[in-house]
Structure 1
């Protein structure tokens, strides 16, 4: 891919080399910063825990947020309600013709 870029991402003090699409660089760096910010918050709250615990809790937090967003984006209940409403309206209108 001609538009690839090699970058190093620092997550919790470890460097991870990545080859990404150049357009994704800002998003990748922002994601790493978000992870590091949350890990830092856990480190402040729970000083005696292992770094692995902070990463696990950070991953857990992101997955929960992702599941919440998926649930909000699920339009199927709305579509079903609209279909039902359409049926009721059609029934009503056919009775009044």
Structure 2
């Protein structure tokens, strides 16, 4: 069975033909749905702004959220602190 499928996504009034992995279909379609939801919300709120500017605002909103999630999922500060605490404990038990 072929693991690639062809789909057509509707976003911002245009059709985008894509070839994707079959297992990604649900998330790809959900992503397009989320884009359309945000575009429609901006169009409702900013009726006098061009489609290009609305799309730029939606792209900015997604980029901002992605960066915020990336920062939130950064475990390096926690890993460094755990390493530091582990060294303190090891030192304590070696001396004791």
Q: Same fold (TM over 0.5)?
A: yes
Unaligned runs of 5+ in 2: none
Match of 2:41 in 1: 41
- Distance in 2 (CA, whole Å) between partners of 1:3 and 1:66 is 28
What SS does structure 2 have at the residue aligned with 1:27? helix
User: What is the CA-CA distance between 1:81 and the residue it aligns to?
Assistant: 0.1
User: What is the CA-CA distance between 1:14 and the residue it aligns to?
Assistant: 0.4
Is 2:7 aligned against 1:7?
Answer: yes
- Distance in 2 (CA, whole Å) between partners of 1:84 and 1:43 is 51
Match of 2:51 in 1: 51
Aligned length: 96
What SS does structure 1 have at the residue aligned with 2:49? coil
User: What is the CA-CA distance between 1:23 and the residue it aligns to?
Assistant: 1.2
- Distance in 2 (CA, whole Å) between partners of 1:14 and 1:94 is 67
What is the 5 A alignment of 1:14-33?
14-33=14-33
- The one-character-per-residue Cα deviations of 1:51-96 (angstroms, maximum 9, x if unpaired) are 0111111111111111111111111111100011011112222222
Match of 1:79 in 2: 79
Q: Which runs of 4+ in 1 moved over 2 A?
A: none
- Distance in 2 (CA, whole Å) between partners of 1:94 and 1:27 is 52
